[in-house]
């Protein structure tokens, strides 16, 4: 294959926009060190090295969304208990999970602040559990040093503090570049503990959290989303009234949503996004918050959101056009990794949990992995229908074809007895869509290829999508076991609208979202837009 041949391939198969001869030559240069490269052109094996290499990305890899809209117009990659090294009952608190999350693209870091045993300082830990604490100052330093690769000064000017308590809309991500914002409910002022509130000492007098229910954040046993329902109503569920630690924004029962006279002024001026949980009838506070000049952050549980959208879906979307909505898992769940954020995204919620959830990571592969994804236009429109998506009259906007050719790299990344003690593995691939209910598909699979470290499946899947803006493609590889306990061979997830046409390299990740060094799939993507 000559440079000119490769240029034609980039144009007609890969559908690259205006590829140049220089682009093709760069690919030639990337494989020149291989012994299989011939000076007159690419042989088949050298061509495969390009196809499965780092230059042949499966999705857009740069920031390309409009970053000048108000911050409330974006989904934010949100961490949950960002300081825990393991489960939420007994693991250590540490700065390392914070650093790992920031490097992975997480842009909302959650810290639970509690008084220390001497009541003269504050520490970060999971209240009411056996988790060990970590110093707040260490957590803030971890954020300072790792949130931006080029910023090493102290928070100082990095901390964004609004000039007025009554701003009409949030600044844009572009305007907030290299800045840090704090979002919380201001701690209450108590005269007898005034010394605890000094900002310089890092102290705070946070109130205890009541009705703790255990919850885990380990998704080694992640259930497939096929097993859960977006609209599951558990009549015996008391989440709404007996919140655990997730509901950290709840005001005292005798305090109204906008009453902040008793908060510590030194802290209040540092908070850019004030958090709260209003009480009373849903339609009343939604109307008040939609019309209020003072923008806020509101927290709802999954169950509360499910109940709210039955009659107030459009009001919630309208609320999230100016304000922030944070949605957290049901308190009765022992594995918060099963929380599916799609319902929240459908209604404009900017913050949702899912520390290791594959759909969450897939969604935030968007926009160069910067941690901010612009919401679809239909969620930012001034005219919002009562039902965001009409399940009775869906309109298919896109046909997505996904052809899984082959995979390789396990032989290099795994022990040769990892999958089977006596023979090579029997890999099969699974492909599905996470999205709005009308678009969701069960994971479909190829046949297992027996005794092969580099399996060739050559299998095409097709999906009809009504809301491709919120569709995430999931790909997974398993190793077949006659016992039914298949071994995990890797996974990946990508927003459908970010996929590049043509034959692409798809690197796979382990269960915790870390990329394997060598494991790759070769997949062809074709998106056909309708109407």
Catalytic residues: 80, 126
Quote the crossing angle between the two packed helices 3-12 and 21-30, to the nearest 10°.
Answer: 110
Quote the crossing angle between the two packed helices 302-322 and 282-291, to the nearest 10°.
Answer: 20
Q: What is the DSSP string of 195-262?
A: GGG-GGGT---PPPPPS----B---TTPPPGGG--TT---TT--TTTS--TT-TTPPPTT--TT--TT
Using the structure block, give the residue that is written with the tokens 């100016």: 322
Look at residue 119 and give its three-state secondary structure.
coil
Using the structure block, give the residue that is written with the tokens 């969304």: 65
> What 3 state SS string does 343-368 have?
HHHHCCCCEECCCCCHHHHHHCCCHH
Query: 270: closest CA among 368, 380, 185?
Result: 185
Return the CA Rg of the chain.
Answer: 25
Contact in structure between 182 and 159 (CB atoms under 8 Å): yes
Contact in structure between 264 and 122 (CB atoms under 8 Å): no
Which residues, in sequence order, are CB contacts of 515 under 8 Å at separation 6+? 507, 508, 509
Using the structure block, give the residue that is written with the tokens 């209240």: 127
């Amino acid at each position: 294959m000559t440079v000119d041949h490769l240029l034609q391939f980039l144009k007609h198969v890969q559908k690259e926009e205006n590829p140049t001869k220089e682009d093709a030559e760069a690919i030639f240069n990337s494989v020149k060190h291989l012994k299989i490269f011939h000076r007159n052109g690419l042989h088949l094996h050298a061509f495969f090295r390009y196809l499965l290499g780092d230059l042949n990305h499966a999705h857009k890899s740069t920031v390309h969304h409009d970053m000048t809209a108000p911050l409330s117009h974006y989904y934010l990659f949100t961490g949950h208990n960002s300081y825990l090294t393991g489960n939420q009952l007994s693991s250590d608190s540490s700065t390392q999970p914070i650093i790992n999350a920031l490097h992975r693209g997480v842009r909302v870091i959650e810290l639970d602040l509690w008084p220390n045993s001497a009541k003269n300082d504050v520490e970060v830990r999971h209240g009411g559990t056996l988790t060990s604490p970590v110093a707040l100052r260490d957590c803030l330093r971890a954020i300072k040093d790792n949130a931006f690769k080029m910023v090493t000064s102290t928070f100082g000017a990095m901390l964004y503090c609004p000039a007025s308590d009554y701003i009409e809309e949030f600044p844009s991500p572009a305007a907030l570049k290299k800045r840090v914002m704090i979002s919380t409910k201001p701690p209450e002022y108590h005269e007898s503990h005034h010394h605890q509130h000094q900002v310089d000492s890092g102290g705070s007098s946070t109130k205890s959290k009541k009705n703790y229910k255990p919850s885990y954040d380990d998704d080694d046993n992640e259930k497939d989303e096929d097993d859960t329902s977006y609209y599951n109503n558990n009549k015996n569920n008391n989440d709404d009234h007996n919140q655990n630690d997730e509901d950290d924004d709840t005001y005292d029962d005798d305090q109204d949503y906008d009453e902040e006279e008793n908060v510590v002024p030194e802290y209040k001026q540092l908070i850019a996004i004030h958090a709260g949980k209003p009480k009373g009838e849903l339609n009343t506070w939604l109307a008040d918050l939609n019309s209020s000049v003072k923008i806020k952050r509101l927290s709802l549980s999954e169950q509360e959101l499910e109940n709210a959208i039955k009659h107030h879906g459009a009001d919630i979307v309208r609320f999230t056009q100016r304000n922030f909505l944070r949605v957290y898992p049901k308190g009765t769940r022992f594995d918060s990794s099963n929380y599916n954020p799609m319902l929240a995204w459908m209604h404009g919620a900017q913050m949702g949990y899912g520390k290791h959830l594959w759909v969450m990571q897939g969604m935030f592969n968007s926009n160069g992995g910067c941690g901010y994804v612009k919401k679809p236009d239909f969620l930012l429109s001034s005219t919002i229908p009562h039902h965001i998506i009409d399940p009775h009259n869906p309109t298919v906007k896109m046909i997505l074809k996904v052809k899984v050719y082959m995979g390789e790299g396990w032989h290099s990344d795994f022990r040769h007895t990892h999958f089977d003690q006596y023979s090579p593995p029997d890999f099969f691939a699974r492909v599905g869509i996470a999205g709005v209910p009308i678009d969701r598909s069960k994971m479909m699979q190829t046949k297992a290829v027996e005794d092969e470290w580099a399996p060739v499946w050559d299998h095409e899947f097709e999906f009809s999508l009504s809301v491709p803006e919120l569709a995430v493609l999931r790909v997974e590889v398993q190793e077949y076991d006659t016992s039914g306990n298949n071994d995990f061979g890797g996974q990946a997830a990508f927003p459908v609208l970010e996929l590049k046409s043509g034959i692409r390299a798809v690197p796979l990740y382990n269960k915790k979202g870390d990329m394997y060094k060598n494991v790759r799939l070769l997949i062809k993507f074709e998106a056909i837009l309708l109407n």
